[in-house]
Chains A and B, each alone.
Chain A
Amino acid sequence: MASAPSLVQSLKPSTSTDSATRAELSEIDASTKAPALFFLISSVLWLLVGTAFALIASFKMHSPEFLGDYEWLTFGRARAAHLNTVIYGWSVNAAFAVAFWLMARLSRSVLRHPTLLFVAGAFWNIGVSLGVIGILRGDSTSIEWLEFPSYATPLLFVAYALIGAWAVITFRFGKSKHIYVSQWYILAALFWFPWLYSVAQIMMIFDPARGTVQALVNWWFAHNVLGLWFTPIGLAAVYYFLPKVLGKPIHSYYLSVLGFWSLAFFYNWAGVHHLIGGPVPAWVQTAGIAASFMMVVPVVVVAINHHMTMVGSFGALKYSPTLRFIVFGAVSYTLTSLQGSSMAIRSWAEVTHFTHYTVAHAHWGMYSFFTMVMFGSIYYIMPRLMHKEWPSARMISIHFWATAIGIIIYVAGLSWGGIEQGFALNNVEKYPVFLDIVELTKKYLLSRSYAGILITVGHIAFAVNFTWMLITPSRKGATAPTLFRNPASMEMTR
């Protein structure tokens, strides 16, 4: 266990009572303030825009006449606008902020020339805005996850390159001797994303491959952007905040290494399972299915590691907002990943493929896991950037319960509806008329809209609290963190 002390050490600076280390951390946090705040404010704005598109698209699915005469809001465009705003607007901006802040802290490195990063961030957001406007006015490429028209994507790529380079520089100039597991994930994700994105752009939009090779590129990209970009960033955050908030090291260093490498090698083949039964070579489908099964390894390993870290500290969930969101996210990661592996089983894919079940699964991953982890991270990071506390614990509580219950209703309803839909689709004798199957799914589509309203309430509570925090001046002497309730005996380290 030679590495154990160094791991503890890498966690130690921030929890240290040594004033020099605390001063250093404070200096690091201060250097990340401007760009991190910029990314976070952008992400919250995009979250609201994305939620609005989500509601519109969801309502249209059961009430097609809703806003039916607005071409720019027709279902096909509202849905694409929703996906792209929540992915490239909310999720990526939040990921940038969290990745940067973690990277600077863990590398013990002051962020150099933050203004340049700020410029890159501005370009990223201009690119996203252009892309979304493009979709709404009818320039969508209709490639899932890559709908932005070709006049927006080069801008995104250049902005990304600058942002990625900055993170690597921050890492290189770091003083920390040890590379903490969160840094592994972040560095890998920063490297993988541009590769995925550039190959997909070139082979699908600028110089399209012939025939269904396009579909292979599409799902290689779209699934890997989840597994090799959002998942590593999400896991990096869990690996940092879980031990951080609890004030104890992660359960096992070796498990985190195993979890990392098995994710790296198995995930990137898994995407082909979106094409099971489709007109692509059978061997790639089989390889995709095998890789999806193998994903059980990293998922279980990470689950054990996180769970064993939590054991004995579940009581802390009553107090810490960060912990509550992070744990909700971590548990969702395990469940949705296992579900994902099961969906690659041929006989199960025969039922669930092409149904709302897949949509539920996607939201379980991107929302229950990633988005919740980002919320948790933001609750931790913002006070350190702003030197003030969250104004309202009640708002945080509303945010948590509305989004948690909302997404559970969402996933449960659509999963069940998707299963019914899938069995009906495959049963021509009982359901010879397609419209009867549509009728069958309507009540579940309606349940999704209700869930969406609940989630919107949560997002509004979050945005209000966030804005309130930005505009109120910090009160002198108010240094206690905002918790759901104040424990008598529990001291939360800042």
Chain B
Amino acid sequence: MTRPPVEQSPAAPSVHPPHLFPAYTSSVRRAPHELLIPLPDALRDLQGPVFGEGRLRPDDNDTTRNGRVNGEPLGERILVRGRVLDSRGRPVRGALIETWQANAAGRYIHQRDQHDAPLDPNFTGTARMLTDEYGEYTLVTIKPGAYPWRNHPNAWRPAHIHFSIFGTNFTQRLVSQMYFPGDPLLAYDPIYQAIPDEKGRQRLVSRFDLDLTQPQWALGYRFDIVLGGDAQTPFEEPDHDH
């Protein structure tokens, strides 16, 4: 009764990973088999939800402070600063960004994380912020550790910070991950390697920036994010035919 899987990708195949990517084993029973139907304008034209300052609290963008119980979280303090841009390079203002991550030892606070590494009582790894008039955000956090997972023998996720971003349009909604430059685990990670285009992969690697680095306090990383999905300004893909 069931049809065989159809090899397929979302609308922009050279940018986003395909749904079915067997090396990422969780995709095998969860990727849809039927071809996706091109999104009708009735859905495409929806505005994204508008989030105001009222949803944020002081230190929401600073995981070194917002999870403290009795001291500072352990690990390498970092500052991540960047811009959220649309596909024409224009700033996206007032975008809600939410981030979550493992602690310096590679452990999530999540109940289901069974990795045998210490939890940090002063760190939840959760932050949220709105982009400003320049489309900019600043995240203060701790550099996350790599951690093992069960995808394949000796599998380790590269250090990463999850980013959830709401743009101005339903189709700009993006959940992605920020990686760190020079991480040797990137070459072995099926989640990262599932991105078909090398340039696309590179866009998710942050850049160490001495200008952003704060003396005596924190290393600085630059991480810009470009949202697609702007119906009025379709982005030209170099190889859109497969």
Q: Do A and B bind each other?
A: no
Residues in B lying within 8 Å of A, measured CB to CB: none
Show the binding face of A for B, using Cβ within 8 Å.
none
